Structure 1
Amino acid sequence: MKKEKMLNKPNLIFFMIIVLAAVARIIPHPPNFTPIGGLALFSGAHFKNNKAYLIPLGAMLLSDLFLGFHSTMIYVYFSFFMIILLGKLLRDRLNIIRLGVISLTASVIFFMITNFGVWFTFDFYSKDVRGLTNCFLMAVPFFRNTILGDLFYSFSFFYGYQFLDLIIKKLSFSFKKN
């Protein structure tokens, strides 16, 4: 019985989302242009239980098995944990402006937390305000792709889901008529 529950359709869909997001991180792509930020926002907005955390963080962990683990992972995972919480602000209040603003906020959260982690963990920069500022400045070229990726994937997940939901409802209605 427990095995049947694990293999039901919703769990299979969640597993497939994790695998697809992990694959998207592994295949060649522009630096920082990945689906995890958008997926974290979407998960926070759409799932009220632990799946909100399991899906994006599971995708990260699965892809990190292939990409390798590193000393700043805690900052990366923590930033996505915070972005999942941010996604809860979109629950039942989605519109284009709000999604755009929250997606940009997610990009800033990721940028600030992960680059603080680089500054704090490594000896690349002096451990003072000047070193932290320099660390942030050196990361700016990567920030563009973080923003673009978060916007692209956030809009894709949220509005793709609405589109698929609409199609499923229309198909369901047309089958009921026949």
Structure 2
Amino acid sequence: MTPRLLTLLAIIALCALYRVMPHPWNVSPVAAMALFAGAHFQTRAMALLVPLAAMALSDLVLGLHPTLPFVYGALLLTVMLGFWVGKDINPGRVLAGSLSGSLLFFFVTNAAVWLVGNYYPPGLEGLNQSLAAGVPFFQYTLVGDLAFNALFFGAFYALEKHFPQQYSH
């Protein structure tokens, strides 16, 4: 294993660990982990599978729920956003990927609560209620995604600059 791969795996493992520790609601490294994995793993299979494995292991500790397939689907779509970011990693792409991932996760997971939960009535009215109920939490998702993306991409960029032989593609 190269230092680059070990570092990538360590970042993903720390994200899984963070999920099971007490933290503010919706301030989580999950979407940042997915975006980062998509941008940095050398194979798409690793980029897709490693974050899913981290989520699955932490979900075994946190508990399973009916919206998990939607959460994992949103995670996989965010990894795919990371493929785009990885084509030319720069602050603008990381910001666009982070904001897109936050919005994607918000819409997918709140729609999932409406679809599989018994909390909201069927139809557009229920979907709107579910989305509206998620709005107060979105600010925390956004802050967490932006902060963790800045941390992951910034730290890895610094490693690439200081240790180019160990961290270059």
TM-score, structure 2 as length reference: 0.89
Q: Which residue of 1 aligns with 2:17?
A: 23
Structure 2 unaligned segments of length 5 or more: list them: none
The 5 A counterparts of 1:1-178 are 8-9=1-2, 12-47=6-41, 48-169=43-164
Change (3 A) 1:54 1:143: same
Paired residues in the alignment total 164
- C-alpha deviations, 1:125-176, integer Å up to 9, x for none? 11011110010000111111111111111121112101011122399xxxxx
C-alpha change, 1:26 and 1:166, in structure 2 (3 Å) is same
Give how far 1:14 is off: 4.9
Compare CA radii of gyration and give the structure with the larger one: 1
CA deviations on 1:7-45 (whole Å, 9 max, x unpaired) are: x45665454333211111111111111111111011111
Letter in 1 for 2:23: H
The separation in 1 between residues aligned to 2:114 and 2:100, in whole angstroms, is: 21
- Tell me the distance in 1 between the aligned counterparts of 2:12 and 2:55: 8
Letter in 2 for 1:42: F
The corresponding residue for 1:174 is none
